[in-house]
Amino acid sequence: MRILLCGGAGYIGAHAYVVLVERGHDVVVADNFSNSSPGVLARLRQITGRPVPFQPLDLRDRDAVTGFFAHQAFDAVVHFAALKSVGESCERPLDYFHNNIGGTLNLLHGMREAGVERLVFSSSATVYGDPDHVPVREDARLQVTNPYGRTKLVMEELIGDLCRSDAGFHAANLRYFNPVGAHASGLIGEDPTGIPNNLMPYICQVAVGRRDRLSVFGGDWPTVDGTGVRDYIHVMDLARAHADALDFLVRERRSLTVNVGTGQGVSVLQLVEAFAQAAARRIPYQVVARRPGDVAEVYADPSLAQRTLGWRAELGVEAMCRDAWRWQSQNPQGYPVA
């Protein structure tokens, strides 16, 4: 298939690019580099051994999006492009609505005009908010607690309406849990700008000496050791789910919303310990107050993905830490600045 990856220069998109090329697809990356580095393209070329087709594109620019689709033929789109910081979304909600929802509308419009009828969408476990029970199934109550989460929920709903209005248009909403890790080459990985919001990149930066110590947000949660429990999923397993979702859309000609997680809950301190083992170094930390908006425990019931996509996670916490550390230690400052 000829596939467009919107936001394909980002953390998850770059890993999905590698998997899709390995599966024999013809893949084009489009991005505005608002949260990524052009340096990723050279790394993708190094990994795949071939030039990386790239299109500069800002999804907020509707004319540019429709103009682009008018000159290209695609069998499917994988849509990663979004702003994703929960805290920033509370400070600048309109930017999130404009970029994430507005950008998605422009993309859907461009796809419709060009007759592209398959979409894989990056959704998030954030749509479950604070779940009533874990493991979380796809039919759990949806509830969002911040503007970023709201954009994901609204986008799922918009995409659902479009699918219902057009029997030929099919979408796979993949609800990612907590993506971590990196490609085994250590050439691509997560490279956040500024202070990392998320646990694994923060641990990586402590391990490599860029930050003194990790703050553990709360030691009094009702969990195994008092720290927050999440479902960390290796980014290469997650990348593979996109390829499997595209196969599903072709094979089954229907839409799907599915969790992408391992089904295993891991606490902050368990992850810190696993990382310390993998990197063979101490990770200094201090337990501080809970982070506003956090919840105790979120992990997936991933059985629908197994039944529908034939997908299941293969890589455990050890591989996640080993690969995250390989990327971080080989690239202490992230991608080289051009």
- The first and second tokens of residue 223, run together, are 């969990």
Is 216 in contact with 302 (CB distance < 8 Å)?
A: no
Piece of the chain touching ligand NAD by CB under 6 A; list 33-41, 45-53, 128-136, 159-167: 33-41
Using a 10 angstrom Cβ sphere, with 0-12 exposed, 13-18 middle and 19 or more buried, the burial of residue 121 is buried
Q: What values do phi and psi take at 209, rounded to 5? A: 90, 10
| Contact positions with ligand WQD (CB under 6 A) in 85-104 | 86
Nearer to ligand NAD, 178 or 257 (CB): 178
What minimum distance in Å lies between the beta carbon of 60 and ligand WQD? 20
Q: Which of 176, 167, 128 is nearest to 255 (CA)?
A: 167
Which does residue 230 touch among ligand WQD, ligand NAD, none (CB within 5 to 8 A, set by kind)?
ligand WQD
What minimum distance in Å lies between the beta carbon of 36 and ligand NAD? 3
Q: Which of 173, 144, 145 is nearest to 157 (CA)?
A: 173
What minimum distance in Å lies between the beta carbon of 44 and ligand NAD? 12
CA pair distance 307, 138, nearest whole angstrom: 13
CA 71 distance to own-chain centroid: 28
Piece of the chain touching ligand WQD by CB under 6 A; list 52-60, 213-221, 241-249, 302-310: 213-221
| Contact positions with ligand WQD (CB under 6 A) in 261-300 | 268, 291, 294
CA pair distance 65, 142, nearest whole angstrom: 31
80 counts as binding ligand NAD under rule CB under 6 A: yes
Nearer to ligand WQD, 46 or 215 (CB): 215
Which does residue 82 touch among ligand NAD, ligand WQD, none (CB within 5 to 8 A, set by kind)?
ligand NAD
Among the listed residues 17, 96, 128, 148, the single catalytic one is 148
**Would you call 77 helix, strand, or coil by DSSP?**
strand
x-marked contacts with ligand WQD along 112-151 as a string, rule CB under 6 A: ------------x-x-------------------------
Report strand pairing: 266-267 vs 229-230.
Answer: antiparallel
Which does residue 259 touch among ligand WQD, ligand NAD, none (CB within 5 to 8 A, set by kind)?
none
176 in active site: no
Selected from 21, 32, 96, 116, the binder of ligand NAD by CB under 6 A is: 32
79 counts as binding ligand WQD under rule CB under 6 A: no
Backbone angle region of 280, left / alpha / beta, with phi > 0 → left and psi within -120 to 50 → alpha = left
What minimum distance in Å lies between the beta carbon of 57 and ligand NAD? 6
Report strand pairing: 232-234 vs 178-180.
Answer: parallel
Selected from 66, 143, 198, 329, the binder of ligand WQD by CB under 6 A is: 198
SS (H, E, C) 166-225: CCCCEEEEEEECEEECCCCCCCCCCCCCCCCCCHHHHHHHHHCCCCCCEEEECCCCCCCC
Binding site for ligand NAD (CB under 6 A): 7, 9-13, 31-36, 57-60, 80-84, 99, 103, 122, 124, 176, 178-179
Active site residues: 148
Contacts with ligand WQD by CB under 6 A lie at 84, 86, 124, 126, 178, 197-199, 202, 214-217, 228, 230, 268, 291, 294
